[in-house]
Structure 1
Amino acid sequence: MITILLADDQRLVRAGLRMLINDTDDLTVVGEATNGVEAVRMHAELAPDLVVMDLRMPGLDGIAATAQIRAATPTAKILVLTTFDDDDHLFPALTAGASGYFVKDTEPSVLLDAIRRTVDGDLLFSPALLRRLVDRALLTPAPTVAEVPLTPRERDVLRLVGEGYGNQDIADRLHLGVSTVKSHVATLLAKTNSDNRVRLAVYASKLP
């Protein structure tokens, strides 16, 4: 069972998320924070698998709370869910350590899938945000494929990362274990000098 901490100052939003999440067989809400200070404290107390974090909250905001949680627990998974889709909120959240970024008009099924995939280790974004991140990343020179030797299996995994598939989907398509896929992704990140899956997707776009 995947455990989730909700952090949002709007009661109706928390109630809607709680109903959506608790209606599944594999996800459950274990706590609700109304501000960043509570989110940091409750994360330390409950150790959830994932935090669904709003950005604009009274007192300590979601970006600062994300930074504090990740400083205390570097492996913490935090999925931002906010009304703001601008760069002024997106990039500070990613810098603070957010594992993904979605806007609140996201389809419920997409959000649930994002929660599962984020816990699985994927870095996920709303489609429009991902396109913007990739476009921006393309402006930064990346090594050519010829400079980095890849095995045939690594190329297969890389192509699927570039198409936006998560670890479980890649495992299913290549008939591999999820742990094997995670190992390949980690190797690819190191080989291509990519700091996240977005950069890896950009690199994949350069495959011949």
Structure 2
Amino acid sequence: MESKPVLKQGLIVEDQPATAEWLLARAHETFPDLQVSLAANLAQGRKLIAAQRFDVALLDLGLPDGSGLDLIRLLVTEQPDCIRVVTTIYTDDHHVFPALRAGAQGYLLKDQPPHKVSAALQGIVQGEPPLSPTIARRLMAVFSQPESDADEAVRLSPREKQTLTLVAKGWKVSEVAEHMQVTTNTASGYVKSVYRKLDVNNRSEATIEAVRLGLVRTEI
């Protein structure tokens, strides 16, 4: 069975006080019991990450003393189980794709209506990558190919497609193995095969491919 994440500790990194409060309201609206720590810059974010464990992090990219990408990478290394979600105003490729490559598992735009942001955050516990509709459309556009091109999905076996779907939803290899009723080594082999065939290197890139192939449902 799918193991849904239990979110107890949250981190919000945002330099604008009003926006930080807005995000805090969205987080509490979605997860009433979530204990949230606030950081206004890169340095504060690093200190908090070093001091405690987080289940979910909402990270701005443009910070006064650096880039939120550094915090994404730090969390990937130090707290890999923390769900990393970018919250920003940037929709261009120069921000979206570096964030996903760095290890972001979601990308939300702060100019969305509150209920849209809350709904996207709620998707975390449903195993759905939190993507703003604009970003989901952009991913679909970038990775769409003419019908004459070879479809990567055709090259994936049914088991590999299933593995890709589960990995994109945030499942651990052990959970994939249990769900598919195979050994952990076998599930790990499926993951490696999917990464090789799709020419991706991590879960975030695999998620992009799963979105493009229509294996993960997004609200567009």
Greater mean deviation of Cα atoms: 30-39 or 131-140: 131-140
Partner residue, 1:196:
206
Aligned residue for 2:108, secondary structure, equals strand
Partner residue, 1:149:
157
Letter in 1 for 2:43: V
What pairs with 1:176-191 in structure 2 (closer than 5 Å)? 183=179
Kindly tell me: are residues 34 and 119 of structure 1, through their superposed partners in 2, closer, same or farther at Cα, counting changes over 3 Å? farther
What pairs with 1:1-208 in structure 2 (closer than 5 Å)? 2=7, 3-24=9-30, 26-118=32-124, 121-139=127-145, 142-145=151-154, 147-150=155-158, 154=162, 183=179, 192-193=194-195, 194=198, 195-204=205-214
- The answer for unaligned runs of 5 or more in structure 1 is 168-178
The runs of at least 4 aligned residues of structure 1 exceeding 3 Å deviation read 23-27, 118-122, 139-142, 179-195
> Residues 85 and 129 of structure 1 are in contact (CA less than 8 Å); yes or no, is this contact kept in structure 2?
yes
- The answer for unaligned runs of 5 or more in structure 2 is 1-5, 181-186, 199-204, 216-220
Kindly tell me: are residues 124 and 141 of structure 1, through their superposed partners in 2, closer, same or farther at Cα, counting changes over 3 Å? farther
TM-superposed CA distance for 1:107, in Å, is 2.5
Aligned residue for 2:22, secondary structure, equals helix
**What do residues 121-175 of structure 1 show as CA deviations (whole Å, max 9, x unaligned)?**
5333211211211222234854352x43316x949x96xx9xxx968xxxxxxxx
Greater mean deviation of Cα atoms: 6-15 or 183-192: 183-192
Q: For this pair of structures, how many residues does the alignment match?
A: 187
Identity of aligned residues (%): 22
Kindly tell me: are residues 91 and 200 of structure 1, through their superposed partners in 2, closer, same or farther at Cα, counting changes over 3 Å? same
Work out the CA distance in 1 between the residues paired with 2:89 and 2:122: 21
TM-superposed CA distance for 1:88, in Å, is 1.1
Using structure 1 for the length normalisation, give the TM-score.
0.72
Instruction: Provide the aligned C-alpha RMSD in A.
Output: 3.5
